[in-house]
Amino acid sequence: MKKRRQRVYLLVASLIGFLMAPAANAGFYTGQHLKQWSDAQERANAGRGDIADGMHTGKWQGYIAGVHDSYDGIIFCTPGTARLGQISEVVRRYLIANPAKWNQAGSVLTIQALQDAFPCKR
């Protein structure tokens, strides 16, 4: 029963975080923030997350979706079959591979990761 309650709390916190994320200004967050949020998602996915991790997971997903939807087809071109989880994983792997860039704007890092993975073929 305790595990189920914890999962419900994580789900609710994730949804609240996701709904709050679009109100955020992309210039306020750095790669360090994104790394923290993606780590929170990893803990939540592994069943080790808490309510704060649920909130950070929502921020992570909302942020990545917002940047993606703003620039897809303009700066990078993701395939129509790509899902948010796959796109988020591309950004997460880019962050892990480039810790020296974590001080840069989160939007810049997200765009760079997606450009590298999904360049537009013109």
- The single residue listed with the structure tokens 């609240």 is 16
pLDDT for the residue 23: 44
What are the structural domains of the chain?
A: 2-117 (1.10.890.40)
- What is the rounded distance in angstroms from the CA atom of residue 3 to the CA atom of residue 9? 10
Whole-angstrom distance between the N-terminal and C-terminal Cα of the chain?
54
pLDDT for the residue 122: 72
pLDDT for the residue 30: 96
- pLDDT of 69 above 50: yes
pTM of the full structure: 0.76
pLDDT for the residue 115: 97
Number of C-beta neighbours around residue 103 at 10 A = 10
> Of 36, 45, 49, 46, nearest to 9 (Cα)?
49
Structure tokens, 91? 């950004």
pLDDT for the residue 7: 54
**DSSP letters of 89-119?**
HHHHHHHHH-GGGTTSBHHHHHHHHHHHHS-
- pLDDT of 17 above 90: no
Better-predicted residue by pLDDT, 25 or 56: 56
- What is the rounded distance in angstroms from the CA atom of residue 45 to the CA atom of residue 26? 25
